[in-house]
Amino acid sequence: MNKLSTERRTQLVAALVEGNSIRSTARMTDTAFNTVLKFVVDIGTVCRAYLDEEMRDLPCKRLQADEIWQFCYAKDRNLPDSMRGKPGVGSVWTWVAIDADTKLVPVFHVGTRDADCAYEFLSDVASRLRGRIQLTTDGHGAYLNAVRDAFGRDIDYSMLIKLYGAVPTEPGRYSPPKCIGIREERILGYPDPEHVSTSYVERQNLTMRMSMRRFTRLTNAFSKKCENLEHALALHYVHYNYVRIHKTLRCTPAMEAGVCDRLWTVRDIAELLGRAEHVRAA
């Protein structure tokens, strides 16, 4: 079987992390569509394993968490009867946590927007941290018991609840309702009111939609399989944490958090797959 060279793999990674679709990446790099699709699975698998291994004993102090909507296969209203109720089709939610100080994203979780997924996500977050943190989320009710179950009382936790006005009636189908205020609620511990915010994680939502074609709104570039969505997320967050220089930090989030001591390149991501193949062959 022919194997892609490191140079070709680097080209594919560079195209994918800049928000190109599978088909545009195939055209830009003169690579077969199915080859690119298989590469996403392969590189996403090793990226997920790398993040799981390296994102441990983190020194984060102030985390923000949120969940972002996406769909796989088809939107809920367009699902055929035979597909309704199956996991991984229709609406899916990606849960993300970000460190407000270092901008590091230590973990993500793909699933539904219910209490079970909230618990799985926050338990994973808690297992990766070195000490006590301050956490801010939105007012989604699934967080309440999940935070208590994952952290116990060893956390300072607040909810930031946004208050919205009426849905706009003027032309503009996709116009969101206007935010008319916010309310802070202390849930556990003694969170510092100066740092009760979800601004960074909401900005991270925009980064996701701009950097992954599968998350772009009002396009046909959705994931047909939930597994492929997870592979794309793993690739994105290795690039975001290790390669992409944050403008306010002037280094990568991983360097700021002390997770690594050098600036990665896109080639370093491609070489993760080569090292994994070498280990399997040994």
If you classify domain 6-281 with CATH, what class do you get?
alpha beta
Give the bridge partners for 227, in sequence order.
none
Structure tokens at 176: 């969101």
pTM for the model:
0.92
Q: Is the pLDDT of residue 138 over 80?
A: yes
Q: What is residue 212's predicted lDDT score, i.e. its pLDDT?
A: 94
Average pLDDT on 56-82 reads 94
pLDDT in tens, 241-251: 999 999 999 99
Q: What is residue 281's predicted lDDT score, i.e. its pLDDT?
A: 79
Give the CA count within 13 Å in the CB-facing half-sphere of 23: 5
pLDDT, mean over the chain? 93
Average pLDDT on 95-124 reads 97
User: What's the helix, strand, coil split of the chain in %, to 5?
Assistant: 45, 20, 35
The set of residues, in sequence order, having a beta carbon less than 8 Å from that of 80 and lying 6+ positions away, is none
Q: What is residue 278's predicted lDDT score, i.e. its pLDDT?
A: 84
Residue position matching structure tokens 């607040």 = 158
Q: What is residue 2's predicted lDDT score, i.e. its pLDDT?
A: 63
At residue 149, the 3 state secondary structure works out as helix
Q: Is the pLDDT of residue 146 over 90?
A: yes
CA 99 to chain centre: 13
Least confident of 44-58, 103-117, 208-222, 260-274: 208-222
CA 270 to chain centre: 20
At residue 68, the 3 state secondary structure works out as strand
Position 164, amino acid: Y
> CB–CB of 100/133 below 8 Å?
no
Average pLDDT on 86-111 reads 96
Q: What is residue 164's predicted lDDT score, i.e. its pLDDT?
A: 78
Q: Is the pLDDT of residue 256 over 70?
A: yes
Measured CA distances, 2 to 29, 35, 38, 234 (Å): 16, 11, 13, 25
Helix residue ranges per DSSP H, the chain:
6-17, 22-29, 33-54, 115-127, 142-151, 199-211, 226-242, 253-256, 266-281
Q: What is residue 174's predicted lDDT score, i.e. its pLDDT?
A: 60
Average pLDDT on 196-225 reads 91
**From CA 36, how far away is CA 42, in angstroms rounded?**
10
Structure tokens at 253: 């989030």
Position 279, amino acid: V
Q: What is residue 280's predicted lDDT score, i.e. its pLDDT?
A: 84
Q: For residue 225, give the DSSP letter.
A: S
Q: What is residue 167's predicted lDDT score, i.e. its pLDDT?
A: 65
pLDDT in tens, 147-205: 999 999 999 999 998 887 776 656 555 666 777 788 899 999 999 999 999 999 999 99
Q: What is residue 242's predicted lDDT score, i.e. its pLDDT?
A: 98
